[in-house]
Amino acid sequence: MKNITHEEQHGIWEKEHLSPYVLKQMDSEDPSGGVITFYEWFSGKKQSASSKGLEMCCGKGRSVIWLAKQKIKMTGFDFSENAIKEAKRRSKLAGVDSNAHFMVQDATKRWAFDSNTFDFVIDCFATTDIESDEGRNFARDEAIRVLKPGGYLLVYTLSTENEFHSEMMKISPTSQSNSFLHPTTGKFEKTWDVKELEQFYSKLSLVELRRVPKTSTFFGKEYRESNIWMVLKK
């Protein structure tokens, strides 16, 4: 089984953000559908002009910028300098740079925020790209720390039931459970099943759990997906 270091994972992402090659959706300016669904859900709960949100591993800021347009005070961070540089440029062009703050931050190192700061934290395919149990555990605990009591954590992530990802786990598995190295970039990706997620986030209360069925194309072939969308409460 192959493995990858954190430094190698970082380098792969820097290259991808500088010159999008495989993960073209990460270069999109359209927000994640899972984040839009969360906003609609959150709006019915406690959304207000004073709400503060955080997205970990935000990439070029597509969802952060969209949420800032909805008048939420947003912060996004990523360990890719290339991604954050572009996120700042895009937020300024969108006219929301006063409502969307971006910074370079590694999710596996202590986050530069006070405890009990945010009304919600977004993990949109973020921990799926952290290549170690230790790193994922640390990022989870930091997300919980910076959430306000009663705050929400959105987790939108890959499922073990996804056809393409199941195929990749057979072809290029790692020593991490339910994970693989991407056949083109070598990037680490982890998939989850519901029981594993519930155990991983056992310190939080599960509020809502959904499946998001869709079809995606990889290497010219269509595959069925059933990603997991869940909201947890501190």
In this prediction, residue 25 carries a pLDDT of: 58
User: To the nearest whole number, what is the mean pLDDT of the chain?
Assistant: 93
Task: Answer yes or no: are the C-beta atoms of 121 and 147 closer than 8 Å.
Answer: yes
Q: Percent of the chain having pLDDT more than 70?
A: 95
pLDDT band at 228 (very low <50, low <70, confident <90, very high): very high
Q: 33-43: per-residue pLDDT in tens?
A: 999 999 999 98
Task: Answer yes or no: are the C-beta atoms of 105 and 112 closer than 8 Å.
Answer: yes
Entry pTM: 0.94
Collapse the DSSP code of 20 into the 3-class scheme (helix H, G, I; strand E, B; otherwise coil) and give the result.
coil
pLDDT band at 81 (very low <50, low <70, confident <90, very high): very high
The pairing of strands 100-104 and 73-78 is: parallel
Model confidence at 193: pLDDT above 90? yes
* Cα end-to-end distance, the chain, whole Å: 36
Cα 175 to Cα 54, 160, 170, 192: the distances in Å are 31, 16, 12, 15
> Could you tell me the domains of the chain?
6-233 (3.40.50.150)
Cα 90 to Cα 53, 140, 184, 205: the distances in Å are 18, 28, 28, 35
